[in-house]
Structure 1
Amino acid sequence: MMIVTTPYIEGREVQKYFGIVNGEGLIGANVYKDIFSGVRDVVGGRTSTYERELRKTREIALDSMKEKAQQLGANAILNVRIKYSNLGGTMGNTILVSVNGTAVLLD
């Protein structure tokens, strides 16, 4: 399954459009991660714990989208967009990773 951010793949023609497919993943930051992340931000450096968690959550969202496209008979997803949203409020430091694109059948 090809997953690309472009609206087409050079040298390949779309045989069929299946429509929009999407996937979501949630990551909840707990108090200990928040504390250690804050300490690291003060001293400098990267917050690798958050980076790892975001990467895993993004993969979950992409896998979910890919599964939906495969069920439709697609072999590619074009024009993929990834969005990160902090749900905040009653959800604490919950981050939603959402992805969407157009499922297609390429030649």
Structure 2
Amino acid sequence: MLILTTPNIEGHKIVEYYGLVTGESLLGANVYKDLFSGVRDVVGGRTSAYEEELKKARDLAIGSMEEKTSKKGGNAIIGIRIKYNNLGGTMGNTIMVTVTGTAVKYE
């Protein structure tokens, strides 16, 4: 499925708009990852464990959006936006990934 941040598909005609589609995913971080992440940031390293978990959460959210688009008859999603929110509070150190876009059919 074609997934774009742009509002149109260059060189193609959008023949049907199916409306808003969304996908959400939650990522919980545990204390050990938090501690390890802080140490690596101090010494200038990258926190690859977190990057991998964020990628998984983002892919799950996008997959959910693709499934909803397919069920509506669409073959592309345009104008997508990805947001990351730290829920904190009663949810602990949880990050929510939200993806939104417009389901369309193009030729």
Query: What's the secondary structure of 2:18's corresponding residue?
Result: strand
- SS at structure 1 position matched to 2:82: strand
| Letter of the structure 2 residue corresponding to residue 5 of structure 1 | T
Q: What TM-score results when the alignment is normalised by the length of structure 1?
A: 0.98
Indicate the residue corresponding to 1:2 in structure 2.
Answer: 2
Mapping for residues 21-100 of structure 1, pairs under 5 Å: 21-100=21-100
Instruction: State the shift of 1:45 in Å.
Output: 1.0
Structure 2 stretches lacking a partner, 5+ long: none
Distance 2:3 2:44 in 1: 35
State the identity as a percent: 64
The offset of 1:54, in angstroms, is: 0.1
TM-score by length of 2: 0.98
Structure 1 stretches of 4+ with a deviation exceeding 2 A read: none
Q: Distance in 2 between matches of 1:41 and 1:15?
A: 48
